[in-house]
Structure 1
C-alpha cells in the first residue's frame, strides 16, 4: 500500500509542478500582452483562474499524501501512544467521511450543475473548474484510508516527527551570520 501511496504522491507532485509552470507562463503572457503589447489577452485570465483552482486542489491532495498538511497536534502528542493512535484513527475516519461526502459527492454535484455553463473566453464549460474537486477527493480519501490502516496496525506513527534541525531559529541564523561579528566588522570599518 505504501508503494501505491508513494507512486500516486509522486504523480500528484509532478502534476502540481506542471500546473504551476503553465500557470506562470499564462500569467506572464497576460501581463506582457496587457503592459507591453497594449492588447490584453482575452483567454489568459480565465485560464489562469482555472489553473489556479486545479493547482490548489491537486496540490492539496499531494500535500495530504505527504502528511504535510497543517495539524494542531500539540496536545495530541502529549497523550500516551495508544491514545494517539485512537485519536488519529478517528481523525482519518472523519477525513474519509469529508472526502466522500463533501469533496467527491459535493464536487460531483457542483460539476454536474455547471457542466453546461460555457466559459466566456475558453471553449470549456464551468464544470471543468469544479471537476477537480471530486478528483482530489478520491486521492485524499485513498490517502486517509492508507494512513488509517498504517496507524491502526502500528506500521506508522500517529503523528510523524517534524525535522526542524535545518530551519533557522531567528533572523540572524536565517541571514547566516553572527551578529557580534557584524558589529565588530562595522566598528573596524569606522576606524
Structure 2
C-alpha cells in the first residue's frame, strides 16, 4: 500500500510474500499452540466421565492426532510440496513448493507434541483434561479497570 499510494509504484512481490508468510505463520502458530495444549477442545462430555475413562479417551484422541499428523500433514504435505515444487511463483524467485513445505514441518511438530501428551497422560503425569482457571481473568471492562487500579496501587505501595 505504501509503494502504491506514496511512491506511485505498486510492488508486485509484496502481496505474494505476505500470502506466503501468512501461510507459514498460520501453520507454525498452530503447531506452537498445539504444543501449549491451547487448541480448541470440546470436552464437556469427556469431563463427565470418571478419570480413568477420561485418560483412555485422551489416549485415543492423541493416537488419532498422531495418525492424522503423520498421514495427513507429513505425508500429504510432502506430496503437495513435491507436486508444486517446480511451479514458479509469479512475483517471487521461489516455487510454490515453498508454500506447501510448511505443512509437513508443522505435522512433525504436532506429531511430536501429541506423542509427548500421550505419554504424559498415559503415565499419569498430566491430567487428561486439565481445568482452566478463569477466575483471575477479568470478565468485562469494569473488572479490568478495577484490577488495573488495584495493581497500580499495590505497585505504588511496594515502591514506598
Which TM-score band applies after superposition, normalised by the shorter structure? 0.7 to 0.9
1:46 aligns with 2:16: yes
Q: What's the CA shift for 1:170?
A: 3.3
Q: What's the CA shift for 1:140?
A: 0.3
- In structure 1, the residue matched to 2:68 is 98
- In structure 2, the residue matched to 1:125 is 95
- TM-score in terms of structure 2 length: 0.88
Please show how residues 3-42 of structure 1 align to structure 2 within 5 Å. Answer: 31-42=1-12
Q: CA RMSD for the aligned pairs?
A: 1.4
- In structure 2, the residue matched to 1:71 is 41
- In structure 2, the residue matched to 1:165 is 135
Q: What's the CA shift for 1:165?
A: 2.2
Size of the aligned set, in residue pairs, is: 147
Stretch of structure 1 that moved more, 147-156 or 165-174: 165-174
Unaligned runs of 5+ in 1: 1-30, 178-191
2:119 to 113, 129, 149: 149
Q: What's the CA shift for 1:78?
A: 1.6
CA–CA distance in 1 between the matches of 2:109 and 2:116?
A: 11
Q: What's the CA shift for 1:168?
A: 2.1
- TM-score in terms of structure 1 length: 0.74
Q: What's the CA shift for 1:166?
A: 2.7
- In structure 2, the residue matched to 1:59 is 29
List structure 1 segments (4+ residues) > 6 angstroms apart after TM superposition.
Answer: none
- In structure 2, the residue matched to 1:135 is 105
Question: Greater relative contact order (Cα 8 A, min sep 6): structure 1 or 2?
Answer: 2
Q: Deviations over 1:70-124 (max 9, x none)?
A: 1011111121110110000010000001000100000000000000000011110
- In structure 2, the residue matched to 1:18 is none
CA–CA distance in 2 between the matches of 1:55 and 1:40?
A: 25
Q: What's the CA shift for 1:37?
A: 1.3
1:83 aligns with 2:53: yes
The 3-state SS of whatever aligns with 1:112 is helix
